[in-house]
C-alpha cells in the first residue's frame, strides 16, 4: 500500500467534503434541535432514575449524536458512488491506486468528519443545554472514535455489497436507523420489549450510547467503558472483514437499478 | 514505449480481442481505430491495468524500453501510464487547479513540482483563465481539455487518449491536438482512439485498425491510403438514364430532386489512377436527354481506406432491405 496515494485520495476527499458540507451541517444541527424539544421530558426521566437536578441533555445528547452519526452512512455511500458517476474512480485506479488505498483514502477523512460532527454536538450541547461530562474525557473521546469507526466501516460494507446508490442509501439509512433505535437513541432500551432489549445488546449503538451516558451521568472511566469499546471494535472488524471479501474495485456502481 | 503481445480478452463466451499485437515506440502517435464495439476501450483498459487480459500481456517502459508488465507490476506501470478515458472523468465540485493537483499528488509529485506542472498544463491547454473555476461551470470543450490535462500531470511515458475530442468544440480540438503533438515530440508514446479519422491525418499518426478482435492492418496514413483506398468520383444526373458501364447509380435523396435524378459513383473496377480521365469518359457518355446536375471528386482518404479494410460498403450500410434493393448496378 502506498501512503502517498492514500494521502492524495484523502486530501481530495477532504476537498469534496468542504465543497459540500450541507449534510454534515444538518447532522450537527438536527440533534441540537431535537434536544431543545426533548430536554424537559428527558429531565423528568432522569429524575425518575434518581439523577436529581441533571440536565436532560445528559440523557439526550449521547443518543441523538449517535443516531445522526449512523445516518451519516449516506455520506460514506455518496462519496464512494459519486466517484463512479463522475468517472473519476476509473481514473484514480488507472493512476495506480489499489482498492485498499482507495478505501483508506476515502474512509480515513470520513472517520474524522463524523468524529468532528459528534464532537461539535457535544460541545454545543455543553454550551447550550448544560451538558456535563462527569467521567473521563478520554473515555468519551475513545467512545466517539469507536462510534465513528463503526459508522464508516458499516458504510464501506454497504458500498461493497450494493451496486446502486438507491440500494445503498435505502439499506444504509434503514440499517443505521434500526441500529440506533434498538440501541436506545430514541428511547431508553429499558422501555423496549424484551426481545428488542436482547437484540440491542448485539448492536454497537447500544454499547456506544450506554458508554456515553455512563461517562456523562455516572462518571465512568476508560476501564468502565472498555467492554463497550471492545464490542464496537469487534463490530468494526467484522464489517471490515466482510467488506474486504466483497469489495471489488473493478465493480461498476450506478445511481439506480 | 508500449508493447502489446498476443492479447486476448473474452467476456463470457464473447471474445472481444483475439490476439492483438501492437507496438508504439517512444515519440510515436498511433491512432487506434475500429468500429463501435471493436474492442478499442477494452484494449486500452488492459494496457492501463484496469482489467486483465484472458491471455497475452502489455508492457510499458521509458524510451525504447518496454520492461514493465502492466498486469504484474501495476504500481510501477501506473507511473509510466497516463489515461484520459472515453467518458469524462473530472471532479465537478473542485476547481480546475484542484482537479489537476489531485492527479499530480496521486503520481507522487511534491507541492512545488505539482504547481509547476499545473502551470504548464493549463497554459498548453489554454485553461489559464479557468484555473480557479469550478469544473462544473466549464464549457464542454474546457471540460474536455481539463479531462485530457489530468492525464498529463506526471508526464507519462505512454499516454492513452480514448476519444479525447468527443464533444469538444473546434478550439478545444485544436488545443488537444496541439498538446498531443507536443507530448509526442518530447518522447511520449501516444495511443489515440477516435472516430474522427481526419484528426489522425492532422496528427501525422500511424494508424492501427482493430477489426474482429485483431489489428487488421497498421502503418502510416499514407501507406494505408495508398494500399487500401481509392478516390471517389460522383456525378448527379437527371432526365434520361445514361449508360455508364462500371458506375453504380442510386436514386438521389433530396427534398425536391429533379425528376429521375440519380447519383452515380465510379465503382472500384472503373477507377484508374487518372481520375480526370475516368470522369471525362463518363461525361462524354451523357446523351442530350440527360442533364448533368453536379460532379464531386474526393481524393483517397483514411476514411475510405478504413471502410475498405473493415469491409463496409454502400449496400451493407443500407438500413433496410428496401434501401439495399435501391442500389442499382449499371
- Condensed to tens digits (0 to 9), the pLDDT of residues B27-79 reads 999 999 988 888 999 999 999 999 999 999 999 999 888 889 999 998 899 88
Mark yes or no for CB contact A9/B150 under 8 Å: no
Q: What are phi and psi of A44, to 5 degrees?
A: -65, -40
Q: How far apart are CA A168 and CA A242, in angstroms?
A: 16
Strand partners, B229: none
How distant is the Cα of B47 from the closest Cα of chain A, in angstroms?
10
Task: Give B18's DSSP letter.
Answer: E
Find the residue in B nearest to A99 (Cα): B50
Best of A7, A95, A254 to substitute, by most chain B Cβ atoms within 10 angstroms, is: A95
CA angle B120, B86, B7 (to 5 degrees): 110
| Per-residue cell: A107 | 474512509
A2 inside 8 A of chain B by CB: yes
Residue B37: its pLDDT value, please?
A: 82
The Cα–Cα gap between B76 and B325 comes to 57
Smallest Cβ–Cβ distance between B75 and the set A11, A90, A96 belongs to: A96
Q: What is the pLDDT of residue A135?
A: 94
Q: Does A15 touch chain B (CB under 8 A)?
A: yes
β partners of residue B329 = B248
Inter-chain CB proximity A2 and B75 less than 8 Å: yes
User: Which residues of chain B make contact with A92, given a CB cutoff of 8 A?
Assistant: 106
Report the greatest alpha carbon distance in chain A. Answer: 61
Check residue B58 and report its DSSP letter. E
Segment A59-75, tens digit of pLDDT: 899 999 999 999 999 89
Is A98 in Cβ contact with B74 (below 8 Å)? yes
Q: What is the ipTM of this complex?
A: 0.87
Portion of chain A with pLDDT greater than 70, in percent: 99
Cα–Cα distance, B217 to B231 (Å, whole number): 20
CA proximity to B205, closest of B217, B222, B188, B229: B222
Establish if A97 touches chain B: CB-CB under 8 angstroms: yes
Give the mutation candidate from B88, B106, B151 for the A interface (greatest A CB count, under 10 A): B106
> Is A8 within 8 Å of B90 when comparing Cβ atoms?
no
- The residue in chain A having the minimum alpha-carbon distance to the alpha carbon of residue B99 is A12
Q: What's the confidence (pLDDT) of residue A155?
A: 94
Mutate to test the interface with B, among A6, A91, A104, A250 (most CBs of B within 10 A): A91
Query: Is B105 within 8 Å of A16 when comparing Cβ atoms?
Result: no
Q: Which residues of A touch B88 (CB under 8 A)?
A: 87
d(CA A137, CA A143): 10
CB contact (8 A) between residue A94 and residue B50:
yes
- Residue B196 φ/ψ region, left for φ over 0, alpha for ψ in the -120 to 50 degree band, beta for the rest: beta
Contacts with B9 from chain A: Cβ below 8 Å = none
The answer to whether A254 faces chain B, any CB pair under 8 Å, is no
Nearest CA to B4 out of B23, B30, B17, B29 is that of B23
Helices (H), chain B: 40-47, 74-80, 96-106, 111-124, 140-150, 170-185, 197-203, 221-228, 275-284, 302-310, 314-317, 321-325
Under 8 Å CB-to-CB from A54, ≥6 apart: which residues? A43, A46, A217
pLDDT of B316: 40
Q: For the segment B249-308, what is each residue's pLDDT rounded down to a tens digit?
A: 988 876 677 777 888 888 777 777 678 888 898 899 988 889 898 898 888 888 888 888
Whether B219 has a pLDDT exceeding 50, the answer reads yes
Grade residue B309 by pLDDT with cuts at 50, 70 and 90.
confident
* Rounded-to-5 percentages of helix, strand, coil across chain B: 35, 30, 35
Query: Any idea which of A96-100, A188-192, B15-19, B255-259 has the lowest mean pLDDT?
Result: B255-259
Residue closest to A12 by CA, chosen among B115, B89, B99, B88: B99
Nearest CA in chain B to A96: B78
d(CA A56, CA A96): 51
Of B89, B92, B94, the CB nearest to A15: B94
The reply to whether residue B105 touches residue A8, judged by beta carbons under 8 angstroms, is yes
Is A175 strand, coil or helix?
Answer: helix
A3 touching B, CB under 8 A?
Answer: no
Closest to B153 measured CA to CA, from B177, B188, B129, B178: B188
Q: Do B102 and A11 touch (CB under 8 A)?
A: yes
Of the candidate ranges A60-64, A241-245, B174-178, B306-310, the one whose mean pLDDT is the lowest: B306-310
Whole-angstrom Cα distance, residue B41 to residue B57?
16
pTM, rounded to two decimals: 0.82
CB pairs < 8 Å spanning A and B: 73
The answer to whether the CB atoms of A19 and B93 lie below 8 A apart is: yes
Query: What structural domains and CATH numbers belong to chain B?
Result: 2-226 (3.40.50.300), 229-329 (no CATH)
Q: How confident is the model at residue A116 (pLDDT cuts 50, 70, 90)?
A: very high
- Pairing mode, if any, of strands B206-211 and B214-220? antiparallel
Say how far apart CA A157 and CA A155 lie, in whole Å: 5
Provide, as residue numbers in chain A, all residues whose Cβ is less than 8 Å from the Cβ of B151. Answer: 91
B105/A88 touch (CB, cutoff 8 Å), yes or no: no
Would you call A251 helix, strand, or coil by DSSP? coil
Judged by CB atoms closer than 8 Å, whether chains meet at A95 and B74 is answered as no
A248 near B CB under 8 A: no
Amino acid at each position: 500500500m502506498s501512503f502517498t496515494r492514500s494521502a492524495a485520495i484523502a486530501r481530495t476527499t477532504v476537498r469534496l467534503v468542504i465543497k459540500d458540507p450541507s449534510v454534515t451541517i444538518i447532522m450537527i444541527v438536527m440533534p441540537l434541535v431535537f434536544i431543545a424539544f426533548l430536554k424537559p421530558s428527558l429531565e423528568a426521566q432522569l429524575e425518575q432514575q434518581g439523577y436529581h437536578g441533571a440536565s436532560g441533555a445528559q440523557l439526550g445528547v449521547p443518543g441523538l449524536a449517535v443516531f445522526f452519526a449512523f445516518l451519516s452512512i449516506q455520506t460514506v455511500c455518496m462519496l464512494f458512488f459519486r466517484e463512479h458517476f463522475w468517472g473519476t474512480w476509473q481514473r484514480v485506479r488507472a493512476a495506480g491506486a489499489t482498492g485498499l488505498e482507495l478505501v483508506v483514502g476515502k474512509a480515513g477523512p470520513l472517520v474524522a468528519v463524523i468524529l468532528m460532527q459528534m464532537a461539535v454536538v457535544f460541545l454545543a450541547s455543553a454550551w447550550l443545554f448544560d451538558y456535563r461530562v462527569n467521567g473521563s474525557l478520554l473515555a468519551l473521546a475513545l467512545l466517539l472514535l469507536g462510534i465513528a469507526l463503526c459508522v464508516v466501516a458499516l458504510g464501506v460494507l454497504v458500498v461493497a455489497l450494493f451496486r446502486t446508490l438507491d440500494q445503498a442509501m435505502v439499506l444504509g439509512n434503514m440499517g443505521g436507523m434500526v441500529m440506533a433505535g434498538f440501541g436506545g437513541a430514541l428511547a431508553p432500551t429499558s422501555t423496549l420489549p424484551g426481545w428488542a432489549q436482547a437484540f440491542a445488546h448485539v448492536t454497537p449503538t447500544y454499547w456506544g450510547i450506554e458508554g456515553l451516558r455512563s461517562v456523562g451521568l455516572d462518571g465512568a472511566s476508560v476501564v468502565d467503558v472498555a467492554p463497550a469499546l471492545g464490542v464496537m471494535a469487534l463490530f468494526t472488524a467484522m464489517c471490515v472483514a466482510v467488506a474486504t471479501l466483497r469489495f471489488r474495485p473493478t465493480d461498476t456502481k450506478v445511481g439506480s437499478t | 514505449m508500449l508493447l502489446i503481445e498476443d492479447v486476448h480478452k473474452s467476456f463470457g463466451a464473447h471474445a472481444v480481442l483475439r490476439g492483438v499485437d501492437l507496438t508504439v515506440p517512444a515519440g510515436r502517435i498511433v491512432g487506434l481505430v475500429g468500429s463501435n464495439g471493436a474492442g478499442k476501450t477494452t484494449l486500452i483498459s488492459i494496457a492501463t491495468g484496469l482489467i486483465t487480459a484472458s491471455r497475452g500481456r502489455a508492457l510499458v517502459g521509458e524510451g525504447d524500453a518496454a520492461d514493465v508488465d502492466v498486469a504484474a507490476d501495476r504500481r510501477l506501470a501506473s507511473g509510466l501510464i497516463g489515461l484520459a478515458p472515453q467518458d469524462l472523468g473530472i471532479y465537478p465540485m473542485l476547481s480546475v487547479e484542484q482537479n489537476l493537483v489531485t492527479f499530480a499528488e496521486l503520481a507522487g509529485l511534491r507541492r512545488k513540482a505539482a504547481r509547476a506542472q499545473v502551470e504548464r498544463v493549463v497554459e498548453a491547454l489554454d485553461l489559464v483563465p479557468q484555473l480557479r473555476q469550478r469544473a462544473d461551470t466549464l464549457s464542454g470543450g474546457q471540460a474536455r481539455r481539463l479531462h485530457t490535462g489530468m492525464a498529463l500531470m506526471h508526464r507519462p511515458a505512454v499516454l492513452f487518449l480514448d476519444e479525447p475530442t468527443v464533444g469538444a468544440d473546434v478550439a478545444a480540438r485544436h488545443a488537444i491536438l496541439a498538446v498531443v503533438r507536443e507530448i509526442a515530440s518530447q518522447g511520449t508514446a501516444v495511443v489515440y482512439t477516435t472516430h474522427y479519422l481526419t484528426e489522425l491525418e492532422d496528427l501525422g499518426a500511424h494508424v492501427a485498425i482493430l477489426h474482429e478482435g485483431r489489428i487488421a492492418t497498421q502503418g502510416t496514413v499514407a501507406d494505408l491510403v495508398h494500399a487500401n483506398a481509392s478516390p471517389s468520383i460522383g456525378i448527379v444526373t437527371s432526365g434520361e438514364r445514361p449508360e455508364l458501364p462500371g458506375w453504380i447509380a442510386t436514386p438521389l435523396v433530396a427534398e425536391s430532386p429533379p425528376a429521375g435524378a440519380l447519383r452515380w459513383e465510379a465503382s472500384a473496377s472503373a477507377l484508374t489512377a487518372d481520375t480526370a480521365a475516368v470522369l471525362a469518359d463518363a461525361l462524354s457518355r451523357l446523351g442530350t436527354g440527360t442533364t448533368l446536375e453536379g460532379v464531386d471528386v474526393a481524393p483517397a482518404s483514411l476514411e475510405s481506406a478504413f471502410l475498405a479494410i473493415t469491409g463496409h460498403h454502400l449496400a451493407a450500410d443500407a438500413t433496410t432491405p428496401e434501401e439495399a434493393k435501391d442500389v442499382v448496378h449499371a
